[in-house]
Every structure is written in structure tokens, then in C-alpha cells.
Structure 1
Amino acid sequence: MIASLRGEVLQVGISSAVIDVAGVGYQVLATPNTLSRLQIGHEVHIWTSLVVREDSMTLFGFASTDEKSVFETLTGVSGIGPKIALAVLAVFTPDELRRALASRDEKALGRVPGIGKKSAQRMILEIGDKLGPVLGEAPAAGGTSEAIDPAVLEGLISLGWRESEAEEAIRAARENGAGSSVPELLRAALQVLGSRR
């Protein structure tokens, strides 16, 4: 099991980064929050979870052990795979997810792409209080900008949204005060799209 990586950031994309560890480049799928902390050319230490399937080995990366623990708990829920678990963490911080589960807020959980009413109910029943108490994370503050960021638009389209839906969600996210960085804006747009399901 690859539990963590320490190395130089070679590349940062919409949904993944490449980290050079002793000459080997590891591609790591990560949340917008984690990716926003990575800078090309800088050394980074991230926590990882390796998901092995018959036809693939995929490495998921996290800024904190808390994020990693939440991810691994989510993938233990029937019907929730690693990509949906990552989408949950793209929409919610670990503490926001704890609050949604504690208040049994199916509507909030349904904002995540790929999570319907039944999946939300399963999460509430199967996870319960396994994530522990709220740890007191503060939400990130952000500014506004009017342009449609092509990287965010491409990211949303690659996740299956139509271009018109994606553009509208980006505009709405900016109106709601989303940050101007690609990861912040992508996360906010996903929340907008999820709320319209």
C-alpha cells in the first residue's frame, strides 16, 4: 500500500497531479482543495490511498489524513466507488460532510454528482457517526470574477455536464462568491450543479 508521497510537483491538472518521487512520476487523483495547495516545482507531502481493480491501480491523494480517512470510509459504503467518494470531497469538506450526515440532510448530500436519494440514505445509514465529531475546519474565502474559466469548463464537461449547463453553473458560482482559482471555482460549480438535480 502506498500511504503517502513526498516529492516535487511536476504537473497539476483539473483532477490530478503528477509528483516526482526519486525519479518516478506518480499520477494522483485529488480533490480541488488538495490540488489548489500544489505548486509546480515545489516539494509536497500528500497522503494517499491506492485503489486496486482488475484492470487498474489508481492513486488518490489528500491534503490531510482526515480527508483520506473520510474517503476510505465513503468507499466502504455500498454503491459508492472511489470516483464518487472523491466527488463528495470535492463538494464537501470533511466537517461539512460530518454536519450533513449528523443532520441526516439528504438534500445536501444529493448535491454531489452521482449521489441520488437512495445513495444519500445509504450514506447516512452506513456511515452514521463513523467519521467522528466535527474538527472545526474553516471554509476558504474567495473573490469573484466574471470570465468563464476554460479549465473549469473543460473539467465540468469531462465529468459529463453539457457545456451550457457548465457555463451557467460557473456564472452562478461566481455570483455566490466562489474563489477565482480553478479548484475553488470547480468545487463551487459542482455544488451549483448538484443543487439543481
Structure 2
Amino acid sequence: MISTLTGRVAALSLDALVLDVGGVGFAVRTTPQALAEARHGQELTMHTELVVREDSLTLYGFPRPEETEIFRIVQSVSGIGPRIALAVLAVLSPDDLRRAVAAGDTKAITRTPGIGPKVAQRMVLELKDRIGAPSGEASADGDAAPALAADAPATGPEGDVVQALIGLGWPEKAAADAVAKAAGDGASDAGALLREALRRLGGSR
């Protein structure tokens, strides 16, 4: 089991990074927030979870060990696999999720693409005694502005960000609308577009 990796960031994409560890490049799937914080050439430690399937080996990793633990625990809920568990962490921090579970706030949980009310209720029931108590204060994301209708951009950073959001589970139109609004507010590079689009999607779902 690979539990941690420490190495140099050799490549970054919108859904993964490549960590060069002693000359071996490990592709690590992670959250948009972690990717936005990473820099090419940076020395980085990722706390990892290897997901084994019949036809694939996929390494998921996070900068903080509690994120890896939440990623692992969320997958214990019936019907939730690694893709949705990763989407949960893209929308909710560990403490945000703990607060939602403790309060039975299924609406907050259904902000995650791929999770409807029934699955959110199941998460509350199955995680309440396992996920731990929240610490600190609730994060202040502010109110999300209403999305503007837009066609999905085909090329450039906006198109790349739309495709990354679709990969996390959001519908194409919702992803394109959020990216268009983020671009209209001045975000231009892929990292800034992704952060702002996620904030809007998370707040308005």
C-alpha cells in the first residue's frame, strides 16, 4: 500500500498531477483545490490511497491526511465510489462535510454532482458515528451569483475547465455557465477559472 509520496511536481493537469519520486513519475488524482495550490517543480508530499480495479490501478492523493481519511470513509457508503468521493472533497472540505453530517444537512451534501437526496440521507445515517466532529468555524464562501447561460467553449483554458468539471460529474450546461461567469468576472488562467467555477457550482446547486 502506498500511503504517502514525496517528490517534485513534474506535471499538472486539471484532474491530476505527476509527482517525480526518485525518477519515477506517479500520476495522482486529486481535488481542483489541491491542483490550484500546486506549482510545477515544487517539492510536495501527498497522502495517498490506491484504488484497485480489475482493469486499472488509480492513485488518489491529498495534501492533508484528514482528506485521505475522509475520501476512504466516504467510499464505505453504499453506492459511492472513488469518483464521487473525490467530487465530495472538491465541493466540501472535511469540516464542511462533518458539519453537514452532524446537522443532517442533506441539501449541503447534494451540492456534490452525482449525489441526490436519497444518497445524501444515506451518507448522514452511515457516517454520523464514523466521520468525527467538526472543528473550527464554517467556511465563508459567500452567496453564489446566478449562473449565466453560455455554450461550452471548445478550446483554451475555459474549455479545459469545463471538461474537468464534467469529469467530476457536473452537467455540461451547468459547468459551462459557471466557467462563463467566472471568466466574465476576470478569471483567466485555468486554476483561477476552476476555483471560481467550483465556488459558484458548490454554492448554487
TM-score computed with the length of structure 2 as normaliser = 0.81
Q: 1:182 to 1:47 in 2, by over 3 A?
A: farther
Structure 2: tracts of 5 or more residues without a match: 143-152
Note if contact 2:36-2:195 (Cα within 8 Å) is conserved in structure 1: yes
Change (3 A) 1:138 1:8: farther
- Is this contact kept in 2: 1:10–1:20, CA < 8 A? yes
| Greater mean deviation of Cα atoms: 155-164 or 21-30 | 155-164
Higher relative contact order (Cα pairs below 8 Å, separated by 6+ residues): 1
- After superposition, give the CA deviation of every residue in 1:62-88 in whole Å (9 maximum; x if it has no partner): 110110111110011110001100000
Post-superposition shift, 1:17? 0.5
**Paired residue for 2:196?**
185
Higher mean alpha-carbon deviation, 128-137 vs 64-73, is at 128-137
1:36 counterpart SS class: helix
Aligned-partner Cα distance in 1 for 2:196–2:56: 30
Residue 123 to residue 175, structure 1, CA distance change in 2 (3 Å): farther
* Letter matched to residue 31 of structure 1: T
**How far, CA to CA, are the matches of 1:95 and 1:9 in structure 2?**
27
Answer yes or no: is the 8 Å Cα contact 1:14–1:182 preserved in 2: no
Deviations 1:77-126 (A, max 9, x none): 11000110000000000011011111111111111111011110110111
The residue aligned with 2:145 is none
Aligned partner letter, 1:85: A
Write out aligned runs for 1:26-65 (5 A): 26-65=26-65
Deviation at 1:38, TM superposition (A): 1.2
Deviation at 1:137, TM superposition (A): 6.8
Query: Does the Cα contact within 8 Å between 1:102 and 1:129 map onto a contact in 2?
Result: no
TM superposition shift of 1:154: 2.8
Where 2:37 maps in the other structure, the secondary structure is: coil
Q: Greater shift after overlay, 49-58 or 163-172?
A: 163-172
| Partner SS, residue 34 of structure 1 | helix
Question: How big is the shift at 1:52?
Answer: 0.8
TM-aligned CA deviation for residue 140 of structure 1: 8.1
For 1:140 and 1:189, locate their aligned partners in 2 and report how far apart those are by CA, in whole Å.
13
Q: CA deviation at 1:174?
A: 7.3
Identity %, equivalent residues: 46
State the 1:169 CA deviation. 2.1
Unaligned runs of 5+ in 1: 143-147
Q: Please tell me whether the aligned partners of residues 96 and 139 of structure 2 are also in contact (alpha carbons under 8 angstroms).
A: no
Distance across 1 between alignment mates of 2:138 and 2:167: 29
CA contact (8 A) 2:96 2:138 kept: no
For these two proteins, the number of residue pairs brought into alignment is: 189
Q: What does residue 8 of structure 1 align with?
A: 8
**Residues 106 and 121, structure 2, Cα contact 8 Å, conserved in 1:** yes
Q: Pairwise CA RMSD of aligned residues?
A: 2.9
TM-score by length of 1: 0.84
